[in-house]
C-alpha cells in the first residue's frame, strides 16, 4: 500500500478546498488535495457557474424575443429560436476551461492532487480509494471541505421526472411544464431562466413568501417579474408526492385543498445538506451544530489539527464564504496569525431583477438594538437605469443613527449583483454615510444610486 506524508491534506476541491490548497502551496506548505469528482466542486461544475451561464443565455433569448413582440427602442427582430443542447455545450465548455484553470493553478502552487474518495482512518490518517488502489495519506493538519448535496423531500425521491439542480443544468430541451418545489434562490434562478426559455413554470413554496430569507420589499419586484413571465407562484403550498399516474405533483394548497400539477419535470430545490457521510467522519466523532461541523473563529473543529470550511460548516452556504475560509485556514496552517473577523458576507439572488444584500437589513439592525437611519433610492430616478430599460427596484443603505456607520446595504434591480463589491467594501472598511457621499460616483451608472441612498439617509437626497 502506497503512503504519502504531508503537512496539509485538504479533502474536497470545491471553492473552499481548492483555494485553501492553492494558498497553502503558495506559502510553501507541503499540500495534498483529494477530490472524488471534478476540480471546482459544486460551484464550478453544477452550481454557480453553470447556473449563471444558463441564466445569461435565457436573458439573451428573452431579450431578443421581447424585441419581436414590442420594439420600443427601434430594434426589429423577425425570428429567433433556442437550441438548448448547443447552449448546454457552450456552458460545458466554460466549465471545462475553468476546470483546467484550477488544475493549472494547483500545479503552479506545487499542490499534489489525488483523485479518489477519501475516508478517515484516524485524526491524522486518510485512506483514498483511487483507480490504482488504496492510497494512505498522513498529514499534520487536515481540512474537511466536502461541501453539500441537495436534500430530497420525503415522498418525492430523486429519479425519473423528479430532478435536482444538477440535472436541470444539463437538460437539452426546456421541459414543457416545469414544477419547482422550493422558492429559494436556486429554485427561482432556474425557474426564471426556464420560463424565459419557454417552459410553463409553477413554483410551489411552503412558506408565505418566495425567497423567505429576504425582506418583502426586496422580493416584490422579483414577484412582479415572475408574474409578467407567466410563472405561477403558489406560496403556503406543500408538495405531497407524485400522482398515482406519476405524471403530476400532488400538493396541498394554502387553502388546504389537494391539487395535482401536471409536470414533465419536477425540480426539487428545498435546500442542501452538509456532505458528512462521504468521508468516514463517524470515525472522528467531531462536535456538530445541528447537521453541520462545529468550528471556531479559525475554522478549527473539536479535534486538534482538523479544520472544516465551506458548506459543511453551515450557512450561509456560499462559494465566496468557502473561499475566504479556505484562504484563512491556509495562512493559519502556514503559521500566520489569522481569525475570522469579517463584518459581512454579501449574498446575491441572480433572479430577474437581481437582489443583493450585505450586512444588516433595517429589521435585523433594529432587532440587534441599533437605532438606524435608512436611505432608499429608486432606480426610476436613475438615468442609467432608464437607458437600460430597467427602472424597477431600489437601493437601500442602513447606517447607525449615532455615528452614521454603514452596517447594511441592499438593492434589487437589473444588474445590481456587481454592486455587491461596493457594498462589501463600504461595510468591511467601516465607511460612514459621509464617506459615501464624499466619494465621486461615475455618471451615468446604477452605482450612483448608492451615493444617492447615502445622501437620502443624511436627509438631503439630490435627485429625488
Just list the catalytic residues: 443
State in angstroms the smallest separation of the CB of 295 from ligand FAD: 12
Q: Does 249 bind ligand FAD (CB under 6 A)?
A: no
Q: Does 14 bind ligand FAD (CB under 6 A)?
A: yes
How far from the centroid of its chain's Cα atoms is residue 302's Cα? Answer: 27
10 Å Cβ neighbour count for 228? 10
Which strands, in side-by-side order, build the sheet including 162-163? 162-163, 265-268, 177-181, 200-205, 232-235
Q: Based on CB atoms, which residue is closest to ligand FAD, 146 or 410?
A: 146
State in angstroms the smallest separation of the CB of 323 from ligand FAD: 8
State in angstroms the smallest separation of the CB of 43 from ligand FAD: 3
Contact with ligand FAD (CB under 6 A): which of 31, 135, 146, 301?
A: 146
Q: What are the Cα distances from residue 77, in Å, to 193, 196, 263, 344?
A: 21, 17, 32, 44
Q: Does 420 bind ligand FAD (CB under 6 A)?
A: no
Q: Does 170 bind ligand FAD (CB under 6 A)?
A: no
Stretch that binds ligand FAD, among 220-228, 309-317, 358-366, 381-389 (CB under 6 A): 309-317
Stretch that binds ligand FAD, among 47-55, 151-159, 362-370, 437-445 (CB under 6 A): 47-55
Q: Does 51 bind ligand FAD (CB under 6 A)?
A: yes
HSE of 138 in the Cβ direction (CA atoms, 13 Å)?
A: 4
* CB of 157 closer than 8 Å to CB of 270: no
Stretch that binds ligand FAD, among 46-54, 84-92, 234-242, 369-377 (CB under 6 A): 46-54
State in angstroms the smallest separation of the CB of 324 from ligand FAD: 11
Q: Does 147 bind ligand FAD (CB under 6 A)?
A: yes
Q: Dihedrals φ, ψ of 56, to 5°?
A: -65, -45
Q: Please give the grid coordinates belonging to residue 109.
A: 502552487
State in angstroms the smallest separation of the CB of 293 from ligand FAD: 11
Q: Does 145 bind ligand FAD (CB under 6 A)?
A: yes
187: exposed, middle or buried (C-beta count within 10 Å: 0-12, 13-18, 19+)? buried
Q: Does 354 bind ligand FAD (CB under 6 A)?
A: no
Q: Does 329 bind ligand FAD (CB under 6 A)?
A: no
> Residue 308 and residue 287: Cα distance in Å, rounded?
11
Q: Based on CB atoms, which residue is closest to ligand FAD, 323 or 422?
A: 323
> Residue 58 and residue 80: Cα distance in Å, rounded?
12
Q: Does 42 bind ligand FAD (CB under 6 A)?
A: yes
**Scanning the structure block, which residue is given the C-alpha cell 445541528?**
290
Q: Please give the grid coordinates belonging to residue 306.
A: 482538523
Q: Does 16 bind ligand FAD (CB under 6 A)?
A: yes
Stretch that binds ligand FAD, among 41-49, 59-67, 215-223, 352-360 (CB under 6 A): 41-49
10 Å Cβ neighbour count for 40? 25
Tell me how many residues contact ligand FAD (CB under 6 A): 35
Q: Does 130 bind ligand FAD (CB under 6 A)?
A: no
Q: Please give the grid coordinates belonging to residue 237.
A: 403550498
Site for ligand FAD in 182-201 (CB under 6 A): 186
State in angstroms the smallest separation of the CB of 363 from ligand FAD: 23
Q: Does 318 bind ligand FAD (CB under 6 A)?
A: yes
Q: Based on CB atoms, which residue is closest to ligand FAD, 47 or 447?
A: 47
State in angstroms the smallest separation of the CB of 387 from ligand FAD: 27
Contact with ligand FAD (CB under 6 A): which of 117, 170, 209, 243?
A: 117
> Cα Rg for the chain, rounded, in angstroms?
24
Contact with ligand FAD (CB under 6 A): which of 275, 373, 396, 456?
A: 275
Q: Does 118 bind ligand FAD (CB under 6 A)?
A: yes
Contact with ligand FAD (CB under 6 A): which of 10, 31, 32, 47?
A: 47
Q: Does 284 bind ligand FAD (CB under 6 A)?
A: no
Binding site for ligand FAD (CB under 6 A): 11-17, 34-37, 41-43, 47-48, 51, 117-118, 145-148, 165, 186, 275, 278-279, 310-311, 317-320, 322
Amino acid at each position: 500500500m502506497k503512503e504519502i506524508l504531508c503537512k496539509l491534506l485538504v479533502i474536497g476541491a470545491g471553492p473552499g478546498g481548492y483555494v485553501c490548497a492553492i494558498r497553502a502551496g503558495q506559502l510553501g506548505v507541503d499540500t495534498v488535495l483529494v477530490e472524488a469528482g471534478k476540480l471546482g466542486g459544486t460551484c464550478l461544475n453544477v452550481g454557480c457557474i453553470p447556473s449563471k451561464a444558463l441564466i445569461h443565455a435565457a436573458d439573451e433569448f428573452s431579450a431578443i424575443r421581447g424585441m419581436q413582440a414590442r420594439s420600443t427602442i427601434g430594434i426589429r427582430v423577425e425570428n429567433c429560436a433556442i437550441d438548448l443542447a448547443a447552449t448546454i455545450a457552450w456552458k460545458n465548455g466554460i466549465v471545462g476551461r475553468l476546470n483546467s484553470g484550477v488544475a493549472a493553478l494547483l500545479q503552479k502552487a506545487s499542490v499534489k492532487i489525488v483523485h479518489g474518495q477519501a475516508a478517515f482512518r484516524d485524526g491524522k490518517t486518510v485512506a483514498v480509494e483511487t483507480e490504482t488502489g488504496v492510497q494512505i495519506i498522513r498529514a499534520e493538519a487536515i481540512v474537511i471541505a466536502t461541501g453539500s448535496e441537495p436534500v430530497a423531500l420525503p415522498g418525492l425521491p430523486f429519479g425519473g421526472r423528479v430532478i435536482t439542480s444538477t440535472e436541470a443544468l444539463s437538460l437539452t430541451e426546456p421541459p414543457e411544464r416545469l414544477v419547482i418545489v422550493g422558492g429559494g434562490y436556486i429554485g427561482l434562478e432556474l425557474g426564471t431562466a426556464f420560463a424565459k426559455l419557454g417552459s410553463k413554470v409553477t413554483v410551489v413554496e411552503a412558506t408565505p413568501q418566495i425567497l423567505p430569507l429576504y425582506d418583502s420589499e426586496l422580493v416584490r419586484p422579483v414577484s412582479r417579474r415572475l408574474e409578467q413571465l407567466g410563472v405561477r407562484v403558489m406560496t403556503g403550498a406543500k408538495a405531497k408526492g407524485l400522482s398515482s399516474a406519476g405524471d403530476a405533483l400532488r400538493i396541498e394548497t394554502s387553502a388546504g385543498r389537494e391539487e395535482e400539477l401536471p409536470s414533465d419535470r419536477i425540480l426539487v430545490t428545498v435546500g442542501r445538506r452538509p456532505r458528512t457521510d462521504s468521508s468516514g467522519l463517524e470515525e472522528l466523532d467531531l462536535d456538530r451544530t445541528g447537521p453541520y461541523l462545529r468550528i471556531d473563529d479559525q475554522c478549527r473543529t473539536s479535534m486538534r489539527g482538523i479544520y472544516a470550511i465551506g458548506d459543511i460548516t453551515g450557512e450561509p452556504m456560499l462559494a465566496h464564504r468557502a473561499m475566504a475560509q479556505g484562504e484563512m485556514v491556509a495562512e493559519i496552517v502556514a503559521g500566520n496569525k489569522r481569525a475570522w473577523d469579517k463584518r459581512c458576507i454579501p449574498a446575491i439572488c441572480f433572479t430577474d431583477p437581481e437582489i443583493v444584500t450585505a450586512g444588516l437589513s433595517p429589521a435585523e439592525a433594529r432587532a440587534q438594538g441599533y437605532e438606524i437611519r435608512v436611505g432608499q433610492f429608486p432606480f426610476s430616478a436613475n438615468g442609467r437605469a432608464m437607458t437600460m430599460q430597467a427602472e424597477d427596484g431600489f437601493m437601500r443603505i442602513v447606517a447607525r443613527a449615532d455615528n452614521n456607520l454603514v452596517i447594511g446595504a441592499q438593492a434589487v434591480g437589473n444588474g445590481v449583483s456587481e454592486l455587491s463589491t461596493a457594498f462589501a467594501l463600504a461595510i468591511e472598511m467601516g465607511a460612514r454615510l459621509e464617506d459615501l457621499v464624499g466619494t465621486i460616483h461615475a455618471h451615468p451608472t446604477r452605482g450612483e444610486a448608492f451615493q444617492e441612498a447615502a445622501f437620502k439617509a443624511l436627509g438631503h437626497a439630490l435627485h429625488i
